[in-house]
Structure 1
Amino acid sequence: MFNNAIVRKPCPNMVEGLTEANLGKPDYHKALLQHARYIEVLRQLGLKIDVLEADNRFPDSVFVEDVAVCTPHCAVITNPGAPSRNKETTLIMDIIHKHYEQIEQIKSPGTLEGGDVMAISSEYFIGLSDRTNEDGAQQLIDILERYNLSGHMVDLSDVLHLKTGVSYLENNNLLVYGELKGKSIFDSFNKIEVPDDEAYGASCLWINGTVLVPAGFPKTKKKVEDAGYEIIELEMTEFEKLDGGMSCLSLRF
């Protein structure tokens, strides 16, 4: 169960954010409305929210998940692999100190982004992507082991981040898309496969028994419903244009 979340408001400069989606530039005002609704739903589901102000120096800073990993015992400040995002870690320090006494940090030449880190109980799966390298992943594993947690690397070739293609819905259920469907490291889980024509549908988020599902992906929505979950659909179009998923918009702990 989650009790807290940290979010950051979108900045006007988000329209210049990093993307490979080829879906056009986001509409800033629509993004504000979608983000406000996201916060409203997290509150409805029982989370206390720290809302950080927008920072126009960093177009992608709305995606706060990439700059820290929050575990039950410590927080880890990451070292983003995208050069334009590297200094975003300085923006998160104060709020992380508010919530955690034990704070660790990934150091160069290691790179790590939180979108590549999926926690399942005491195990952490770490995607090796264009944004997270083996050095950064190993640093995280070493940190986790000091707190009696464990980590496992997952090689990636197609997706931007690990959680671009996989979402853990608790109860041993894993929503998977694309290359993640065939990863043997996940064979012990019940895999709910996202249809090939609904790739962004993999960007779901479990919050305290309810699954947040991006609107516009009916086949994925039905599969999640058929697995027995209560769902809430959220419009995510403007964040999809920046390769940003549901989990990217918050740090939850």
Structure 2
Amino acid sequence: MALSGIWQTLNVDPPPDFDMEEELFGVVYQSMLPNDRIKEIVQMKIPGAHLDSGDILFTGREFLIGLSERTNTSGIEEFSQFFPSWSVTGIKVPRGVLHLTSLCSICGIDTIAIGGSPQGQEVWKEIEKLAQHSYKRVVFPDNNGANCQFINGVICHPPRDEYPESFKVWETFDTPRISLPNSELAKADGSLTCNSLSIR
């Protein structure tokens, strides 16, 4: 599906300066937060604070932030100041895993897609223990096969040829779905959730 068709299907308005010819891929993550334009860009001020956007999992009810090699407690503390009306909880990411969304994503209302690896199940136990709300889980054979974006009621997930076993799980969903190739970005450890912005 062409990028312009994806925008239309997801009912997302592209930014005013968006160039269809030059963009490789892009989705403005408007699925759960209020549909307001970005009003400011904030910079972290706490010395030594680090926060990787790949560690941010917004569930629609709270923020779960991965504590990883790229995100520390100071980063989570400062992030919570940007979103004072939302609960923000740190989730330990197993050693060797790039960031939280390498293992799990939101795939529906109160539903988390999670990799079936030992690391994925370790993270799920942390979520069950520390999250402020309860969630259902859907387990996928591949960690990367569970990576998706849930945008305006539509799931964008990897295609069959990239993760055939995980695709079988996606086929069980009643939710509208779009398969989005990610093989080129995967060469640089990029995933579908890397193509999103956290806005307030």
Which TM bucket (shorter chain)?
Answer: 0.7 to 0.9
CA distance in 2, matches of 1:248, 1:242: 11
- Which of residues 102, 112, 124 is equivalent to 2:63? 124
Distance 1:241 1:103, change over 3 A: closer
- Which of residues 78, 84, 88 is equivalent to 1:151? 88
Structure 1 residue ranges, 4+ long, deviating more than 6 angstroms after superposition: 62-65
Q: How far 1:160 sits from its partner (Å)? A: 0.8
- The match for 1:180 is 120
Counterpart residue type for residue 87 of structure 2 = S
**Which fold has the larger relative contact order, with Cα–Cα distance below 8 Å and residues 6 or more apart in sequence?**
1
Q: How far 1:103 sits from its partner (Å)? A: 4.8
TM-score with structure 2 length normalisation? Answer: 0.76
Q: Cα deviation per residue 1:108-153 (whole Å; 9 max; x = unaligned)? A: 41011211101112310101112111111111123322xx111000
Higher helix proportion (structure 1 or 2): 1
Equivalent residues in 2 for 1:37-48, closer than 5 Å: 37-38=2-3, 40-48=5-13
- Is residue 2:11 matched to residue 1:49? no
Distance 1:137 1:38, change over 3 A: farther
Structure 2 residue runs without a partner (length 5+): 129-133
Counterpart residue type for residue 220 of structure 1 = S
- The match for 1:94 is none
TM-score with structure 1 length normalisation? Answer: 0.62
Q: CA RMSD in A?
A: 3.3
Distance 1:232 1:64, change over 3 A: closer
Contact 2:33 2:60 (C-alpha < 8 Å) held by counterparts: no
The SS at the match of 2:112 is strand
Counterpart residue type for residue 154 of structure 2 = T
Contact 1:213 1:231 (C-alpha < 8 Å) held by counterparts: yes
CA distance in 1, matches of 2:144, 2:186: 8
- The match for 2:131 is none
Distance 1:252 1:112, change over 3 A: closer
Equivalent residues in 2 for 1:156-235, closer than 5 Å: 156=93, 157-177=95-115, 178=117, 179-183=119-123, 184-187=125-128, 188-195=134-141, 198-215=142-159, 216=161, 217-235=163-181
CA distance in 2, matches of 1:63, 1:116: 20
Contact 1:64 1:251 (C-alpha < 8 Å) held by counterparts: no
Structure 1 residue runs without a partner (length 5+): 1-35, 54-61, 74-97
Distance 1:199 1:49, change over 3 A: same
Counterpart residue type for residue 123 of structure 1 = E
Identity %: 25
The SS at the match of 1:242 is coil
Distance 1:218 1:250, change over 3 A: same
Aligned positions, number = 183
CA distance in 1, matches of 2:26, 2:78: 20
Contact 2:55 2:71 (C-alpha < 8 Å) held by counterparts: yes
The SS at the match of 2:97 is coil
